[in-house]
Structure 1
Amino acid sequence: MSQQKGKFIVIEGLEGAGKSSAIALINDIISQYIGQSPVCTREPGGTPLAEKIRDLVKIADESDPLCDEAECLLIYAARSQLIANVIKPALSSGKWVLGDRHNLSSLAYQGGGRGLMPLVKAVSDACLHGFKPDLTLYLDIDPTLGLSRAASRGKLDRIEQQAIDFFERARKTYLKLAHEDDSIIVIDASQSMEQVHDDIRLQLQRLLPALMGEQ
């Protein structure tokens, strides 16, 4: 009998949406449901080389500002490393993978926020060849509220310091893509953490059996 392939679940959202606490919750739920912990990843990053690329993207260098196109290409370089060396091997061995961001982030941030959608789609097609998560939970929040939450955690990184209209364009793109794809579930992240977590639990109770049935 051939080994059953694992499933790839991703959490997405703007800064301050509560991804970190949501990931911890989802990790626990998946672990209880399938009897083992998922492989957890983050983007950009997730491999030694991809983490070095993450630093290039996240840390501002005033002497050599990162241009938008380079940002996009670096993120896809990191993503390609992660998919090839972590995600696909884990899925092939029957493990589930829980990702903190994936390609939807590039479509929203670099495609919508930066206005580079043609480049993003071209690089995405070239790098991913149709590979995508089985399920994405998008934590939706107004950028003003999200950024105020993010600022309360400490110093903002290069991405978090972008103008508010950048995040408004990214949010608009997230919602448009979610509307077009049944595998993307929208969660209202403006609620209290307890309510957001309750909504996540309800969605996973509904969706996990369907994912298992696909195997």
Structure 2
Amino acid sequence: MTSNSVTGGRFITFEGIDGSGKSTQARMLADHLMAEGYEVVLTREPGGSKGAEEIRALVLEGEPDRWSAETEILLFTAARRDHLERTILPALAAGKVVICDRFADSTRMYQGLSRGDLRGVVDQLHELMIGREPDLTILIDMDPTEGLTRAKSRQTAEERFEDFGQALQDQMRAGFLALANEYSDRFQVIDGKGTLEEVAQRVTSTVKAHLS
């Protein structure tokens, strides 16, 4: 299985509850690094490759009870494997900075924690089929009530997890912070309060220290 050290490349992921602003911050970081001359691949999960994008529609649309947690774990892992093979690993091997909006930590939380005691299943599948952790994970920490309000205001078709409501948001924030403590060697927690530019400055400072 793939080692964490790929020559030249850096793998950076963004995590956080729905509405935390992580997707916007991932884009802003990508723009900043490209302006400084870095070769950057900005991608997302679920998605990031043709097959994974097709799975994305299956897991993010429809009624909240459309899939069991066990089925979701299998779908997300399948999407992640395709994404890894077709997008992430080739970019890292070429020495690029890969910035990914969500990765395996989201599956550890949304399927492994929130919908049953399935964290062990997530980790076993991850080790078997993915075998790679990010070099750096940026966790945008946001008040759960504010995050849910932001997420619902987007009014997209991809609201299946937002429809689980406030209790899930609360549980996910606590879970992500616990995960940051568990994987403290790669997690950096960024305060999501303030303007986009203020948060972006915190993110950029943290990432540039990692890249230097």
TM-score of the aligned structures, taking structure 2 as reference length: 0.88
Contact 2:152 2:159 in 1 (8 A): no
Counterpart position of 2:3: none
Find runs of 4+ consecutive structure 1 residues off by over 4 angstroms: none
5, 11, 15: which is aligned to 2:8?
5
Counterpart position of 2:154: 153
196, 200, 211: which is aligned to 2:199?
196
1:208 maps onto 2:199 in alignment = no
Give the superposition deviation at 1:104.
Answer: 0.9
Q: Which aligned pairs between 1:161-172 and structure 2 lie closer than 5 A?
A: 161-172=163-174
Give the superposition deviation at 1:61.
Answer: 4.9
Equivalent residue pairs, number: 204
**Secondary structure at 1:17's aligned position in 2?**
coil
Cα deviation digits, residues 133-182 of structure 1 (max 9, x gap): 11111101122110011122224611111132222222222111111222
Counterpart position of 1:52: 54
Counterpart position of 1:19: 22
| Coordinate RMSD, CA, aligned | 1.9
**Secondary structure at 1:46's aligned position in 2?**
coil
User: Greater Rg, structure 1 or structure 2?
Assistant: 1
- Aligned residue identity for 1:174: F
Contact 1:107 1:173 in 2 (8 A): no
2:177 and 2:85 mapped to 1: Cα distance? Answer: 28
Cα deviation digits, residues 5-24 of structure 1 (max 9, x gap): 31111111111111222012
Call closer, same or farther: CA 1:198–1:102 in 2, change over 3 Å: same
TM-score of the aligned structures, taking structure 1 as reference length: 0.87
**Secondary structure at 1:44's aligned position in 2?**
coil
Percent of matched pairs sharing the same residue = 38
Segments of structure 1 that go 5 or more residues without pairing to the other structure are: 210-215
**Secondary structure at 2:33's aligned position in 1?**
helix
